[in-house]
Amino acid sequence: MSDMTEIDTTDIRLVPESAVGQEVAQTKSRRWPGLSVLGGLVLVLALLPLGISGSYYMHVLILTFFYVVIASSWRVVSISGQFNIAIGAFMGIGAYAAAIPSVWLHWSPWVTIPLGAVAATIVGALLAYPFARLRTIYYAMGTLFLGYVVINLITAGGKTTGMSTGLGGVEPLFSDRTYYYYLAFGLMLVSLACMYRLEFSRIGVRMKAIAQSHQVAASVGIGERRNRILAVAFGSFFAGLMGAVYCHYQGVASPNSYGLGATLWIIMYVLVGGINSFWGPAVGVGMLLVIPEFFFRDLKGNLPYVTAAILLIIAFTMPEGIVGLLKAITDRVSRRFRRGEVSGDAP
């Protein structure tokens, strides 16, 4: 194949050589500040209960940890090109698979919580099989109705599911909220680590390849159906797990928490934070859940309007979400910084 080396590549370079070199140097040096910010955040969150123990803020943070995992699990499904509008339903499956044996059979939460996660995974994988035939908007519509079906089944479940009022009396895990805080925090760290590993390994590459072109992916041996089912099963596991823990925390499983409304909030967290970035969902949850609760509690009644305004501004000005915007800013700043450095070196 030595003949092929003669191809003229001089016209291919779209960016000056020096700029490409900079890019590489930047990503290397940027990793360390990123890691230390992350480490600092983890440390602060780990020590925070000492200061705010038992307060309402603690509850908000527990919710935040739940939603960071659930929003991230939705994004994991989305990297394989599947816009799933049934994530709330999978939370619900996990919650009821935990709540029903807990309430009626008095099983220990330490059994029912894994049961909820496994149930959501299995149902997710089984449903993903037929749904793997649908793509793009048809997949979204299919899962939209799937979500409705699950909620309707729950409300039609009679005494077993508590119908539309929900199933109360789910046995709590702990009596002290601080334990819940650490449980949710720990689960979030472990879940995010698993998702990070998945996305940035070859499995994530396969999923992203399918999202871009299932035909090209198939031509190099990446099976579309198998990887899409895997994505849904993986995402459902974490959604189901968090749904199960959440209902033990609240003591009640209610269909309202798992309907279309819940799903749309989760999707909004991801879109606001940035769907193309691993940290997007966490940033989105922080923006839309934590900041209003901590700093704008007086707004409470007007919160939907504020949220709507934030969403519109983001949709129009930063289609890549907040993380996308931050990335663009840091790129520009560091490029200017580099340029200054280079000109400073010149005699």
Binding site for other proteins (CB under 8 A): 1-9, 11-15, 20, 23-24, 197-198, 201-203, 205-206, 208-209, 212-213, 215-224, 230
User: 276 vs 330, which CB is nearer to other proteins?
Assistant: 276
Q: Which two tokens stand for residue 254?
A: 């209610």
Tell me how far, at minimum, the Cβ of 345 lies from other proteins, in Å.
25
Tell me how far, at minimum, the Cβ of 1 lies from other proteins, in Å.
5
Tell me how far, at minimum, the Cβ of 14 lies from other proteins, in Å.
5
Tell me how far, at minimum, the Cβ of 17 lies from other proteins, in Å.
9
Please name the residue ranges forming H helices in 2-48. Answer: 17-47
User: 6 vs 345, which CB is nearer to other proteins?
Assistant: 6
Distance CA 147, CA 93 (A): 10
Query: Are the C-beta atoms of 259 and 145 separated by less than 8 Å?
Result: no
Distance CA 61, CA 286 (A): 10
For residue 315, give the 3-state DSSP assignment. helix
User: 8 vs 298, which CB is nearer to other proteins?
Assistant: 8
User: 105 vs 220, which CB is nearer to other proteins?
Assistant: 220
User: Torsion angle, CA of 17/18/21/22, rounded to 10 degrees?
Assistant: -140
Using CA atoms, how far residue 99 sits from 140, 174, 237, 243, in Å, is 28, 16, 16, 10
Residue with tokens 């070196």: 345
User: 205 vs 313, which CB is nearer to other proteins?
Assistant: 205
Tell me how far, at minimum, the Cβ of 312 lies from other proteins, in Å.
27
Angle 6-14-21 (CA atoms, 0-180°, nearest 5)? 95
